Amino acid sequence: MAHARGTPSSWIVQWAGLVSNGVAVLDVAVGRGRHSRFFADRGHPVTAVDRDISAVDPHPAIEVIQADLENGSPWPLGSRIFGAVVVTNYLHRGLMPDLLGALAPGGVLLYETFMVGNERFGRPSNPNHLLKDGELLDLARGRLSVTAYEARLISAPQMAMVQRIAARRPG
């Protein structure tokens, strides 16, 4: 989704307050690292993962890990757990167990990406990259306590169908 360089998603900003002070944050498929910087500037140590880390500016609180998350390699974080896991504008269904497994007890999942219906507005239009109706709720059911969920059309930074969730692992 096009956005001004460095501008964090309004959903992430809105629900960042759920994340406990100072806990470690995992930002998955970080792109240019807008959310890594956002959380680092709020005082969190951040681990940022992407297959292409060339656009992530160095920051003392951000650990950058280059990894292809879709080529069958082991999950690059091993058994490490985090107080928050952040994913925006990225979907690889095979990673869902790893994302949930990386949440510490009490940890917060903040996930926002495109959903079915986005084809009308452009890319992504491949079903592999579009959440199905209710998919993030289904992911959370029985595992996470959902604070907020939306499935809606947004008009900024561009028209898009998105689904987004803020949910906490019990404990």
Ligand X SMILES: C[S@@+](CC[C@H](N)C(=O)[O-])C[C@H]1O[C@@H](n2cnc3c(N)ncnc32)[C@H](O)[C@@H]1O
Contacts with ligand X, residue ranges (CB under 6 A) = 29-31, 34, 50-52, 68-70, 88-90
Question: Least distance to ligand X from the beta carbon of 52, Å?
Answer: 4
Mention every residue, 6+ apart, whose C-beta is less than 8 A from residue 49.
Answer: 26, 27, 28, 29, 30, 64, 65, 66, 67, 69, 76, 77
Write down the residue that tokens 């907020």 correspond to.
148
Question: For ligand X, which residue has the nearest CB?
Answer: 31
Torsion of CA 150, 91, 104, 10, to 10 degrees: -40
Q: Which is nearer to ligand X, 29 or 140 (CB)?
A: 29
Q: Which is nearer to ligand X, 68 or 133 (CB)?
A: 68
CB of 44 to ligand X, least distance (A): 16
Nearest distance from C-beta of residue 51 to ligand X, angstroms? 4
Is residue 44 within 8 Å of 24, Cβ to Cβ?
yes
Q: Smallest distance, Å, CB 89 to ligand X? A: 4
**Distant-in-sequence, close-in-space partners of 147: CB < 8 Å, separation ≥ 6:** 15, 18, 166, 167, 168
DSSP string for 70-102: SSSPPPTTTT--EEEEEEES---GGGHHHHHHT
CA distance 3 to 26: 21
Q: Which is nearer to ligand X, 41 or 105 (CB)?
A: 41
Name the residue nearer to ligand X (CB basis): 23 or 56: 56
- To ligand X, the closest distance from the beta carbon of 27 in angstroms equals 7
Nearest to ligand X of 55, 153 (CB atom): 55
